[in-house]
Chains A and B, each alone.
Chain A
Amino acid sequence: MRVALFSPMPPERSGIADYSALLLPALRARCEIVTVKRGAKRPPRGTDLCVYHIGNNPDAHGWIVEALRRTPGVVVLHDFVLHHLVAGLTIGRRDGHGYLDAMEREGGVVARLLGHAVLDKRIPPLWENRPEDFHLAGEVLDLATGLIVHSRYVRDRARAAGYGGSVWIVPHPAFPVPGVAAADVGGEPLFGTFGNVNASKRVPQLLEAFARVRRRHEASGLLLVGATSPGFDLDRRLQRLGLDGAGLLREGYVDERRLWELMAAADVHVSLRSPTMGETSGTAIRALSLGKPLIVSDVGWFSELPDGVALKVPVDEREVETLTAALELLATRPDVRSAMGAAAHELAQREHDLERVAELYVSAFERAAGGAAVSDGVLREVSEAAATVGITPGSVEARELAARLAEVDLGG
């Protein structure tokens, strides 16, 4: 069986490119995989199944969406909310009408009018302010012959959006931990948060909670690693909270090696998010691989982490208080940190093991490529046998047969 894989690949700088590169050797050990060259519009000859990795970066995924439009196939949906992608593929290409059509498709005339307001710059971009209200995944879902997702959250949202095809949940693979020494950055304990520094990573709330905790734990540190997003005034917020000096350790964008060194140094990883696009956090997966306890927002994929691995902070009016309590607990209880870290490591090895993930991927590929023919064959044989003993379509007996077939996923 031959699978054509449409995905960004290194040296392209994208999380999904790294993801695909990590998985590819394990997939190839199980199945013939052809990686399609960036920009190609069709799969190579002899392809049995096309697989499209779709994320929110229009530059990395635009050509993949165009190929999907020509040849439907299985979509690996890395984010459920694709508003940013669609905006990039329409407004970003001076195709305002395309954006309006996408909005209308999802939300009717009212959404189209909102789209006009965005185009006229009367309201802020919806993909920044209200992405969860307009996911704009409709076109991709319509074209997908099957979906591979990383969480129950995304599966449920796809179902709620009316997707009726097969959906396979395949966990994000754990990254192999490179043999690096932890960076010597201080902090006792050291909290770390990794990724873009902005409001959706709940950095303001984290800074406020940490300021409170630091009053009682003067040796504690907060490591903030990642580029600051445009428009996010970190320095002003730091000044207001009196955190411009001791306790805060700031590093901007760092290379992969330095990232691991810093991650290894942190005693607790904080991975907050709201709103969520339905994404799985690569940095949280790294934390699991390193056996680090996590504090996460109680949203989307993050909610599905076992309680023994992550303290979950609801995004509500008491968010800062709850976050403070979580930081406080882990600051004072090294035994809890240690138990959560061990559970995290075990979870990474069991649930996110690369070979297991590859096996689940190939299982999905194989069922997507041949499953319909198999179901048809089974149904034909069962219905022919039923007909010979007088069981007619729509009868009680036929409904029983259908129910039993459905129970074991044989297409009843």
Chain B
Amino acid sequence: MRIAVLRPQVPFARGGAEIFSDALVEELRVRGHEADSVTVPFKWYPGARVLTQAFLWRLLDLTEADGKRIDMVVATKFPSYLVRHPEKRVWLVHQFRQAYELDRTDLGQFGESPEDRAIRRQVQELDRVALGEASRLFATSQNVAGRLERATGLVAEVMPHPAQELAYRNDGHGDFVLSVNRLDRAKRIDLLVDAAAVEPTLRVVVAGDGPDRSRLEGLARDRGLTGRVRFAGRVPAEELADLYATCFATFYAPVDEDFGLGPYESFLSGKPVITASDAGGPLEVVHDGSTGRVVAPEAAAVAAAVVWLRDHPDEAAAYGRAGHAVAAEVTWDRAIGRLLS
């Protein structure tokens, strides 16, 4: 089949959604499909720009390319699913969260003016129309599917996507806890930094980059954590696999995360995950006392959980093995089989 995988592109930014859609294209090709990625730049501010930029997708004609039919499009996140196509499938990573659960929070975008309120509702209307057109609708997690159903009444099939290709291995119980995530406020890396301040024996490695990096580095300096909290930045794949292999656990506790690849990568390396009780998607696979620790989103609680896993290597290894069994179930073969069926 000839398949176009659609995603918006925020220039100079790359995160889980981009890794996911690139991997999907690659995996489709491996299975003999002619697949390509279609991206359109996306800017969601100020004012109604979110709507006009979303509307660009509506104007695209992806029924064919260069005289050859495109059999299917697979849209991944807002606003790429506004595309019109007779065989539109959506594998929803997330909607435009500012119009939903992030509204009226610190991470929201819309104010209280009638115009702002109406823009938010219009985004919801776009979702209702465009997602309602999909011939099949998947969501990467129960959390994403639940939000979708509450907001639009549309029911999505839950289908997690596999973690990125890495040389996953377990080199044993190391001496640091690892965070792998984009550095923005919603990911709450500061909880881990503060946990290191609470517990003076903790060692932390933070991999990833993003707009919150300088604030987080400043926070670590202010807390006197230089030397114990290392910001590694965006690391190459080989180094990332090394970090996973040599940590004793990972920390992954965003606010109400859609899905979260982090736990899957951690599990594939045989490492347990520490998350927060309000983390959303990760809670579907991170279970307290089974595949990791689930604690209140407070620095002291995080510190206690990290120390406990560090000081209980047998339990940490058992949790990591249980997590591995969960992650191993999520394969590209299964996912692509469902996606195209």
Measured CB to CB, the residues of A under 8 A from B are 1, 48-49, 363, 366-367, 369-371, 373-374, 377-378, 381-382, 401, 404-405, 407-410
Q: Are A366 and B114 in contact (CB under 8 A)?
A: yes
Min C-beta distance of B47 to chain A, whole Å:
6
| Distance (whole angstroms) from the CB of B55 to the closest CB of chain A | 6
B residues in contact (CB < 8 Å) with A: 47-49, 51-52, 55, 58-59, 82, 84, 112-122, 124-126, 129-130
Q: Which of A49, A373, A408 contacts B115 (CB 8 A)?
A: A373
Asked if B59 and A404 sit within 8 Å, CB to CB, the answer is yes
For B48, give its contact among A363, A377, A401, A409 (CB under 8 Å): A377
Check A382/B122 contact, CB under 8 A, given A49-B114, A370-B115, A377-B47: no
Taking chain B's interface residues, is the majority helix, strand, or loop, or is none over half, making it mixed?
helix
Q: A1-B113, A378-B48 are in contact. Are A407 and B58 (CB under 8 A)?
A: yes
Residues of chain B lying within 8 A (CB to CB) of residue A407: 58, 84, 129
A382 near B55 (CB under 8 angstroms)?
yes
A-B contact pairs, 30 of them (CB 8 A): A1-B112, A49-B114, A363-B124, A366-B120, A366-B121, A369-B114, A369-B117, A369-B118, A370-B113, A370-B115, A370-B116, A370-B119, A377-B47, A377-B48, A378-B52, A381-B48, A381-B49, A381-B52, A382-B55, A404-B55, A404-B84, A405-B55, A405-B58, A408-B55, A408-B125, A408-B130, A409-B122, A410-B55, A410-B122, A410-B126
A409 to chain B: which residues have CB within 8 Å? 122, 125-126, 129
- B122 adjacent to A367 (CB under 8 Å): yes
- CA gap between A19 and B55 in the complex, in Å: 39
A369 to B121, CA, bound (A): 11
Do B48 and A408 have beta carbons less than 8 Å apart? no
B117 engages A378 (CB within 8 Å): no
- A49 cross-chain contacts in B, Cβ below 8 A: 114
Nearest A residue to B53, CB-CB: A381
Question: Given A49-B114, A373-B118, A408 and B82 touching (CB < 8 A)?
Answer: yes
Nearest chain B CB to A295 CB, angstrom units:
28
What residues of chain B lie closer than 8 Å to A405, measured between beta carbons? Answer: 55, 58
Q: Which 9 A-B pairs have the closest CB atoms?
A: A370-B118, A370-B114, A369-B114, A366-B117, A377-B48, A370-B115, A371-B118, A374-B118, A404-B58
Interface residues of A: mostly helix, strand, loop or mixed?
helix
Chain A residues with Cβ below 8 Å from B120 are 366
Residues on the B chain within 8 Å of A1, using CB: 112-114, 117
Who on chain A is nearest to B51 by CB? A378
For residue B151, which residue of chain A has the nearest CB? Answer: A359
Besides A370-B119, A407-B58, A410-B126, 14 more A-B contacts (Cβ < 8 Å) are: A366-B114, A366-B118, A369-B114, A370-B117, A373-B115, A374-B118, A374-B119, A381-B49, A404-B84, A407-B84, A408-B130, A409-B122, A409-B125, A410-B122
Bound Cα distance A49, B47 (Å) = 20
Q: Which residues of B contact A382 (CB under 8 A)?
A: 52, 55
Bound state CA distance, A408 and B119, in angstroms? 13
Q: Could you tell me if A374 and B122 are in contact, using CB atoms closer than 8 angstroms?
A: yes
- Write the chain B residue with the least CB distance to A350: B153
Assess the A367–B55 pair: CB atoms within 8 A.
Answer: no
Do A374 and B124 contact each other (CB < 8 Å), given the known contacts A1-B113, A401-B59? no
Contacting pair B51 A48 (CB below 8 A)? no
Q: Note all chain B residues with C-beta closer than 8 A to A374.
A: 48, 51, 115, 118-119, 122
Instruction: Give the residues in chain B near A378, CB-CB below 8 Å.
Output: 48, 51-52, 55
Give bound CA distance, A378 to B115, whole Å. 12
A216→B120 CA distance, assembly (Å): 59
B126 partner residues in chain A, CB cutoff 8 A: 408-410
Q: A49-B114, A410-B55 are in contact. Are A371 and B48 (CB under 8 A)?
A: no
Rounded to whole Å, the gap between the CB of B132 and the closest CB of chain A is: 11
Which chain A positions have C-beta within 8 A of B112?
1
The listed residue (B51, B59, B82, B121) touching A367 by CB distance below 8 A is: B121
Q: Which residue of A lies closest to B116 (CB)?
A: A370
